[in-house]
Amino acid sequence: MKSDTPKTVIEVKNLACGYGETVVLQKVSFSVHSRELFFVIGGSGCGKSTLLRCMIGLLKPLKGDVAYFGKSFTAADAVQRRDILKTFGVLYQNSALWSSMTLAENVSLPLEEHTSLTREDRLEITTLKLAQVGLSGSEELYPSELSGGMKKRAALARALALDPAIVFFDEPSTGLDPITSREMDQLILQVRETLGTTMVIVSHQLSSIFRLADRVIVLDHKTKGIIAEGAPRELAATSTDPRVRDFLNQDEDSSKRTKHPSAVKPDPISK
């Protein structure tokens, strides 16, 4: 008999993060389930990006553990760490594309680093990944020739190069106009539905949070931890914590928000 219990792909236990003697987050624990659109939200300075940096290995935790598929990433040796890194991709806030490389060369980088594929095979995969994000025919363009939305999509293509089970996003809507931001949201949904990818998204963009999130954790800079967890609409309507209500009810048009990710029909992604 098939179990209805969701599969846990990420487990964060009693995590503390900071810089030097400055503790930004402490006693942070949560799990992320397979195929989930999981958001890390909260006001400025609450530690969203710091948490992300700890989870993907750019910042060593002060305490606690991050595990992927039941295997500790925090305590992993070099070989184990390399294997775990292949299971997730990252889309950084500024896209982090190499300006001196074409899109094809940018997307191919993870394949060169982590596989022994031939150049022809890498090119075939690169072409496919760019097509998945709506950038067919853009292989030879350079980042300087792209709009902000195209850069985000190219960075997503690179994050998907190794067919990761998980993709992390750091403020994917930053710098985008409302229409392009919505297109990015639709692309995220499309990737999840097509590839079954688990998404962990750091964001303060309420429209995206309500449009996409299956579940959120709300961070607070004063408590240095999680003050709420759940579906964003439920938290906005029922939370007894004024900090949570104030953050989630900033938009006066909340009643017009899309009710659930399944209600959003992906539109064609324009360049």
Please give the average per-residue pLDDT across 11-25, as a whole number: 94
Q: What are phi and psi of 70, to 5 degrees?
A: 80, 0
- Provide the pLDDT for residue 115: 86
Q: How far apart are the first and last CA of the chain?
A: 46
* CATH superfamily for domain 36-59+71-87+168-260: P-loop containing nucleotide triphosphate hydrolases (3.40.50.300)
pLDDT by residue (tens digit) across 229-265? Answer: 999 999 999 999 999 999 998 864 444 444 444 444 4
Closest C-alpha among 121, 150, 122, 118 to residue 136:
150
Domain boundaries, the chain: 36-59+71-87+168-260, 90-163
Q: Is the four-CA dihedral 122, 151, 92, 88 of positive or negative sign?
A: negative
- Provide the pLDDT for residue 187: 93
pLDDT by residue (tens digit) across 30-87? Answer: 999 999 999 999 988 899 999 999 999 999 999 999 999 999 999 999 999 999 999 9
For 233, the token pair is: 């609409």
Residue 92's Cβ-count burial label (10 Å; 0-12, 13-18, 19+) is: buried
Residue 210's Cβ-count burial label (10 Å; 0-12, 13-18, 19+) is: buried
| Sheet order of strands, 37-41 included | 88-91, 166-170, 198-202, 37-41, 215-220, 225-230
Please give the average per-residue pLDDT across 92-104, as a whole number: 87
Mean model confidence pLDDT for the chain? 88
The greatest distance separating any two alpha carbons of the chain, rounded to the nearest whole angstrom, comes to 57
Query: What residue type is assigned to position 145 of the chain?
Result: E
Q: 159 in helix, strand or coil?
A: helix
Q: At residue 202, does pLDDT exceed 90?
A: yes
- Provide the pLDDT for residue 211: 93
